[in-house]
Amino acid sequence: MAKILFVQELAQFHIGIAYLSAVLKKNGHECDLLIANLEKDFYKSIKAYKPDVLACSVITGNQEWFLKVAGKAKKSTKCKVIFGGPHPTFFPEIIEHKEIDYVCVGEGEYALLELANRIDRKEKTDDIPNIWSKNNGKIIKNPVRCLTGNLDELPFPDRDIFMKYKILKNSNQQIFITTRGCPYACTFCFNHALKKIYEGKGNYLRRRSVKNVLEELVHVKEKYGYKEVYFQDDTFVLDKKWIVELLKEYRKKINVPFVCLVRANLLDRKVVTEFKKSGCRCVYFGIETGNEQLRNQLLKKALYNKDIVRAAKLLHKYKIKFRTYNMLGLPDETLDNAFETLYLNVAIKTDYPWCSIFQPYPSTELGKYAIAKGYVSADFNENNFKSFYDKTLMSNKKDINQIINLQKFFIVAVKLPISIPLIKKLIKLPPNKFYDLIFILSYAYTMIGTEGINVFNSFGEGLRTIKKFYFGNGED
């Protein structure tokens, strides 16, 4: 039996980690999770657990935090460190850091299981598919294995390692996922890059059976209880026949409100009526930009304003609220284009508008385009990412400061259109901490309204965000 310890920075349920832990436990290994901001002494807890493997799920932007954790953990324990998740998948060269022993590229359930098995048996670990490793200073780059074709074969995610924390145990909402992969090729998304990694390795888009999903929904309801379900699939409505079948049983066996992510062009009256009958409280969908040319030529979204307007009318008619995802600061976008995005949200009366600043992730097609067009500095790379909230790396873009300021006021402007003339004047001032605070309060409003987050939890998250803005990340 190997001991695997997962670590993460903030208090949130991570379904990827839950799947990894479930597969490991099913095969006889011991797993636990430590959340840094919920532990009295995070590093003391790591040392006390004495893990064989410290497992870190890393996104671009928090790799430096995990490197610090890995370095300190290796000084106090004899653990090996593995980095997995989006950042190591697209930038596996991070293994060159001395703190890291292994990097997992792509889906990790069976790769991490094989690593744990071999560590337990004290066998060599340098030829495991999906895993890059080190051997006498040399980096061994192994290819990925085939994708898991039948998602029903995976055990249900291990929620126990999260539920030991009161703030997560008391959440009204539980997260579920029914698919893996996406058929679309949006240039700002990771999916097109991940498809290339797995080319020839099985069907990229996979879906669990209705029976399997319902069994998990019932199991989690009986064991933990919940007042709301969040279907976290990239696009929940890809298969309308499957949706109708699921929701028919959902009404009988679960019968609690749910939220989900959709595409505006896939919503029709049949789907929306099924949603309404089944207690759908809110849906989320991406607009990205109000300018159709940018959305469909630059972003390759394959989505038109008429689709968005039609979907919004349907949702309003059936009294289902919706959150829209928007981006400002896109390559080739002008300030006028940014206001097009704002005005489209005003026109469709978005209940919960969400807007972020575009980040040119180098692994994506759009990120590579931004770099090639010179929107970022010449020495730009993936290690430049430090913030998830409002900062931009598009330093060479025209009107970037006004666009950054507009993002801060975006939610206010959509919900109170009367404020737009004033906002047009305010955004001409330099970015400042007061505008940051406007954004933080808007963020809390959106999270409370769309994800059912307890107001006190959101307040705590807001305080942590303020700390990041005003004082940096502080002591890790």
Residue 51 sits at the vertex; the CA angle it makes with 48 and 53, to the nearest 5 degrees, is 155
One domain for residues 336 and 378: yes
For residue 48, what are the domain limits? 3-141
Question: For residue 371, what pLDDT band results from cuts at 50, 70 and 90?
Answer: confident
Average pLDDT over residues 93-102: 96
9-13, 268-272, 277-281, 462-466: which has the minimum mean pLDDT?
462-466
Say whether both 274 and 370 belong to one domain.
yes
Phi, psi of 338 (to 5 degrees): -60, -40
- Is pLDDT at 465 greater than 60 in this prediction? no
Please report the DSSP string for 7-25 in residue order.
EESSS---HHHHHHHHHHH
Does 232 lie in the same domain as 89? no
- Domain assignment present for residue 43? The answer is yes
Residues 277 and 328 in one domain: yes
pLDDT tens digit sequence for 302-326: 999 999 999 999 999 999 999 999 9
**Over the range 154-163, which residues count as b (16 or more CB within 10 Å of their CB) and which as e?**
bbbbbbbbbe
**Is residue 121 located within the same domain as residue 200?**
no
Most confident of 250-254, 385-389, 432-436: 250-254
Percent of the chain with pLDDT over 90: 81
User: What pLDDT sits at residue 380?
Assistant: 79
Average pLDDT in the chain: 92
- Same domain, yes or no, for 97 and 217? no
At residue 387 the predicted structure's pLDDT band, cuts being 50, 70 and 90, is low
Contacts of 160 (CB under 8 A, 6+ apart): none
DSSP annotation string for 70-103? HHHHHHHS--EEEEESHHHHH-GGGGGSTT-SEE
The residue type of 162 is F
User: Region 389-405: what's the mean pLDDT?
Assistant: 77
Average pLDDT over residues 420-427: 98
Query: Please, which residues bridge with residue 325 across strands?
Result: 286, 354
d(CA 253, CA 118): 42
Q: How far apart are the C-alpha atoms of 385 and 149, rounded to whole Å?
A: 34
Q: CA separation (Å) from 82 to 33, 59, 315, 415?
A: 14, 14, 44, 44
pLDDT at 472 over 50: no
Percent of the chain residues past pLDDT 70, beyond the cut: 93
User: Based on the structure, what is the number of domains in the chain?
Assistant: 2
Torsion of CA 272, 278, 280, 284, to 10 degrees: -50
Per residue in 236-257, pLDDT (tens digit) is 999 999 999 999 999 999 999 9
Q: Give the pLDDT of residue 361.
A: 87
Q: Tell me, yes or no, whether 157 lies in a domain.
A: no
pLDDT at residue 196 in the model: 94
pLDDT at 460: 53
Question: Do 108 and 84 meet the contact criterion of CB atoms below 8 Å apart?
Answer: yes
Residue 107 or 375, more confident: 107
Judgement on whether residues 104 and 226 belong to the same structural domain of the protein = no
CB contact at 8 A, 357 and 333: no
The residue among 150, 323, 313 whose CA lies nearest residue 230 is: 323
Instruction: Give tens-digit pLDDT for 162-172.
Output: 999 999 999 99
The Cα–Cα gap between 27 and 202 comes to 24
Predicted structure pTM score: 0.93
For residues 269 and 314, is the Cβ–Cβ distance under 8 A? yes
Residue finishing a domain among 141, 160, 189: 141
Q: H or E segment at 28?
A: none
